[in-house]
Amino acid sequence: MASDDAAGLRAILDAAERRRKSVTYYAPEAGDLIERLDTRNLDVEFRAIPPRGPEPFLIVRAGGQFRGAMPVEALREHVGWSRNRRGEMDEHSEAYAIIVELLDDTVFASLSKRQLLLTVREFEDRAWRVGNGVLHTGFQSATAFAPQRGLYRELAAETALDVHIYVADGERVEPLDEPNATLHTEPAEEIGRYWFLVFDGGEEREQGVALVAEQRPDETFRGVWTYDPDLVDRALSLLPSVDGDR
Amino acid sequence: MIDDDSALSEYEGYDWESLSGVPSPDALFRVLSHRRRRRILWFLLERPETTVGELADILVGWELDDEDGTAGPDKHERVLVALHHNHLPMLAESDLVEYDIETGAVRFSSPPEPITVLIKFSYQYERAVAGRRT
C-alpha cells in the first residue's frame, strides 16, 4: 500500500508531463517570451521569421497534434505582460479557450524552497477565500510544519474548510484543537518525498488546485501545480491516507 | 518619335535574353494570383528551404493577422490540405519550388531577378492595398 501511495503522488507529476505541450514561437526576435514561459508546462521552440512577415505568433501542439495558434500579443494581454491595457477577453471565445488550455498545467522545473512556499501560500489563500471544501496539505517533516501550525489553526478556526494535514517522518506532532482540522502522521515514508497541497474548490469547483513537489538532492524542488478539475480530482483520489490520528 | 522600349527602360538592367527554366507568363501570374502563394513565395525568398508543416504554421499565423483572432485544429488542417493538394503542386508545376511529397521538404528554385522582384512587388502591393493593420 505504501509504495502505491508514492506512485499515486508520482502519478500527478507524470500525468502533467504527459500533458506537456510544445509551443513553436515564430517571431523575428525571441525577446523575453521564452523566459516568461519558462515555469509553464511547455516546451518552447523559437523559430525566427523574416521581419515584415506575420506578427509574432504561437503554435501550440500536444502529443504532436496541432491544438491552436494565437498572436503573441493576445497572450501578453491576457496574462498582463502587455503594455496595453489588459484585454477584455470573451470567456466563451476560441482565443480564451486556447490561451487557458496553453497555460493550464504549470510545471516548475526547479523552484527554491522560498518560491515553493510562496506558491503554497497563494493556494492556501485561495482555500481561505472560498471558505469551504477540503484542503489537504502534506509537509515533509514536523520541522516544516511547525512554522505553519499557527496559520493552519487559524485557517480551520476561521473557515468551514475540512483541513487535512499530513506530516512525515513519524515525529510526534500535537493534534490541532479545531474539530475540522485532522492530522495524519502515519503514512510517514511517502509523504516525506513530496510536498503537496490539494484543494477541491469546495462549492466553487473551478477554484480547485493541486500541487505536488518533489525535493531534489540539491535542496530545490521539482513539481507541478494544476487548476484542471480532472487532475485535481485525480490528486484527491490518490492521497495517501484518509483516516487521521484520531 | 518615342522609342518603343522607353517605357520599359527601368528594367533594362535585367538580362531578358537569357531567362531559362522560368514559368510561362500565364503560369507565373496564376501562381501569384492567390494570397497564400504570394506569401509562400515571399517567405521562400527569405527562407529558401522549409517544410510543408512549417509553411502551414506560417500561413495560419499570417492569417491570424487578417482575421484578428486565433485558429484551432480545423483551420490548420484545411491549410495543410490546401498546401499539399493545391498550392505546392502548382508552385512545383511552375518550377519555382521543389516539393517532396514524401518528406514534405520544400525548396525554393532561386529564380532570376525579374521574378524575385515581382514576388517582392506582389507582397508589398498586397500589404499596401489590402490595408494591413500594422
Check which CATH number belongs to the domain holding A218 and give it: 3.30.870
Q: Give yes or no: residues A84 and A184 share one domain.
A: no
- Residues A73 and A130 reside in one and the same domain: no
Contact A57 B76 (CB under 8 A): no
Distance from CA of A193 to the nearest CA of B (A): 40
A232 part of contact set with chain B, CB < 8 Å: no
pLDDT tens for A189-222 read 566 678 899 999 999 888 898 888 888 888 888 8
Domain contains A242: no
Cβ-Cβ contacts under 8 Å between A and B: the total is 66
**Residue A245: inside a domain:** no
* Element of type H or E holding B97: strand B97-99
Of A54, A83, A103, the position where a domain reaches its end is A103
**Residue A243 falls within a domain, yes or no?**
no
Residue A244 located in a structural domain: no
* A95 and A210 assigned to the same domain: no
B99 interfaces chain A, CB cutoff of 8 Å: no
Q: Do B65 and A50 touch (CB under 8 A)?
A: no
Please tell me whether residues A116 and A224 are part of one structural domain.
Answer: yes
Contact B57 A65 (CB under 8 A): no
Q: CA A129, A130, A132: angle at the middle one, nearest 5?
A: 130
Do residues A152 and A85 both lie within one domain? no
pLDDT of residue B65: 87
CATH of the domain at A76: 3.40.30
Contact: A57, B64; criterion CB under 8 Å:
yes
Q: Is A65 on the interface with B (CB under 8 A)?
A: yes
**A133 shares a domain with A34:** no
Based on the fold, state whether residues A49 and A142 are members of the same structural domain. Answer: no
For B133, which residue in chain A has the nearest alpha carbon? A55
A121 and A98, same domain (yes or no): no
A53 occurs within a structural domain: yes
Q: Is A38 helix (H, G, I), strand (E, B) or coil?
A: coil
Domain count for chain A = 2
What are the Cα distances from residue B19, in Å, to A29, A39, A158, B15, B24? 37, 54, 84, 7, 11
Strand order in the sheet with B97-99: B49-51, B105-108, B97-99
Return the percentage of chain A with pLDDT > 90, whole number: 28
Whether A53 and B62 lie within 8 Å, measured CB to CB = yes
Task: State chain B's mean pLDDT as an integer.
Answer: 89
| Per-residue DSSP letter, B120 | H
- Give the residue carrying C-alpha cell 516525506: A192
Would residue A47 count as lying in a domain?
Answer: yes
Residues of chain B with pLDDT under 70: 1-8, 131-134
Task: Provide ipTM, 2 decimals.
Answer: 0.88
Q: Do the domain assignments include residue A151?
A: yes
* pLDDT tens track for A151-193: 999 999 999 999 999 887 667 788 889 999 998 886 645 666 7
A144 and A90: one domain? no
Residue from B57, B65, B79 to probe the interface with A (highest A Cβ count within 10 Å): B57
Q: Looking at the DSSP assignment, which residues form a beta bridge with residue A23?
A: A44, A60
| Residue B24 forms contact with A (CB below 8 Å) | no
Pick from B57, B75, B127: which is nearest to A26 by CB?
B57
Neighbours of A224 (CB within 10 A): 24
Each residue of A78-137: pLDDT tens digit?
A: 666 555 544 455 666 666 666 666 666 555 556 778 878 888 888 899 999 999 999 999
Q: Is B108 on the interface with A (CB under 8 A)?
A: no
Q: Measure the CA–CA gap between B107 and B100, rounded to whole angstroms.
A: 9
For residues A81 and A103, the answer to whether their CB atoms sit within 8 Å is: no
Search chain A and give the residue with CA nearest B53. Answer: A66
Flag whether pLDDT at A144 surpasses 60.
Answer: yes
Q: Are residues A176 and A120 in the same domain?
A: yes
Question: A26 and A99: one domain?
Answer: yes
- Domain assignment present for A86: yes
Domain-ending residue, one of A71, A103, A135? A103
Q: Which residue segments constitute the domains of chain B, with CATH numbers given?
A: 31-129 (1.10.10)
Residue of B nearest to A70 (CA): B70
So what's the pLDDT on residue B108? Answer: 97
Domain boundary among A83, A103, A123: A103
User: Do the chains contact at B70 and A65, CB–CB below 8 Å?
Assistant: no
Selected residue of A59, A77, A90 to mutate for chain B interface (largest B Cβ count, 10 A): A59
Same domain, A128 and A86: no
Domain span holding position A10? 2-14+107-237
pLDDT of A22? 87
Cβ of residue B118 closer than 8 Å to a chain A Cβ = no
**Chain A residues with CB-CB distance to B60 below 8 A:** 59, 69
CB contact under 8 A, B71 and A69: yes
